[in-house]
Amino acid sequence: MPKLGMEPIRREALVQATIAEIGDAGSLDVTVSRIARRAGVSAALAHHYFGGKEQIFLAAMRHILAQYGAGVRLALAGARTPRARLDAVIAAGFSPENFDEATIGAWLNFYVQARVVPEAGRLLRVYQRRLRSNLVHDLRPLVGDAAPDVAETLAALIDGIYIRAALGEGLPDGAAATARVARVLDRLLETGE
């Protein structure tokens, strides 16, 4: 039965199962066994591929961050003006594939993981740095030296909306979330904050 080239397929399945399982559980209290069963493989295989539970979680984080990154890149490709690019970056975070139940739940838990596992912290910081750098880059032409500060505000607002979505309160849909952030951006741009 073991086929050639199964590894990438299995890894992908395990990563997806991990995210789904975390989403279902609402926490990182998920067992490797459950993840493996959901992916249709044995727990031993999960270990074989990833080396350990922590690595499985990290792979899931990487997957989510990569997916987010790809979304941003895609959105940026079609944007011409700084403002259009800003809107693109903001919208990307709330696009359907990043803003669904399971992903949001996983995201919240990765914040926790980032406080515990150094490598997880590194991953999350890379994402944040990239987000901020994207924002700053396009804010600079609009607000000048206030860019870093405005960027931080926007980033915090985005994270806050995410976190509130994780609680089931607040907006369940990405369009409204995007609109909210965009509106704040409007105000901050009006006077150059």
Q: How many residues contact a second copy, by CB under 8 A?
A: 44
CA distance 131 to 49: 31
Q: What residues between 2 and 61 interact with DNA by CB under 7 A?
A: 2-7, 10, 29-33, 40-45, 47-48, 51-54
- With beta carbons less than 8 A apart as the criterion, state whether 156 and 176 touch: no
User: Which residues have a Cβ under 8 Å from the Cβ of 93 and sit 6 or more positions away?
Assistant: 68, 71, 72, 99, 158, 162
Supply the DSSP string of 47-87, one letter for each residue: HHHHSSHHHHHHHHHHHHHHHHHHHHHHHHHT--SHHHHHH
Q: Which is nearer to DNA, 18 or 103 (CB)?
A: 18
- CB closer to DNA, 5 vs 118: 5
Residue with tokens 């979304």: 71
* Partner in contact with 190, chosen from DNA, a second copy, none, beta carbon below 5 to 8 Å by kind: a second copy
Angle at 12 between CA 98 and CA 130, to 5 degrees: 40
Q: Which one-letter DSSP state was computed for residue 168? A: T
**187 binding DNA? (CB under 7 A):** no
User: From a second copy, DNA, none, which one binds at residue 10 (CB under 5 to 8 Å depending on kind)?
Assistant: DNA
* Contact string 52-71 vs DNA (x = CB under 7 A): xxx-----------------
Which CB, 145 or 190, lies closer to a second copy?
A: 190
Residue 31 interaction partner, one of DNA, a second copy, none, beta carbon < 5-8 Å per kind: DNA
Closest CB to DNA among residues 115, 183: 115
Question: Distance of CA 97 to CAs 15, 68, 119, Å?
Answer: 15, 9, 24
Radius of gyration of the chain (CA): 18
- Choose which of 97, 125, 141, 175 interacts with a second copy (CB under 8 A): 125
- Residues in contact with DNA by CB under 7 A are 1-7, 10, 29-33, 40-45, 47-48, 51-54
- Residues in contact with a second copy by CB under 8 A are 25-29, 105, 108-109, 111-116, 121, 124-125, 128, 149, 152-153, 155-164, 166-170, 180, 183-184, 187-188, 190-191, 193
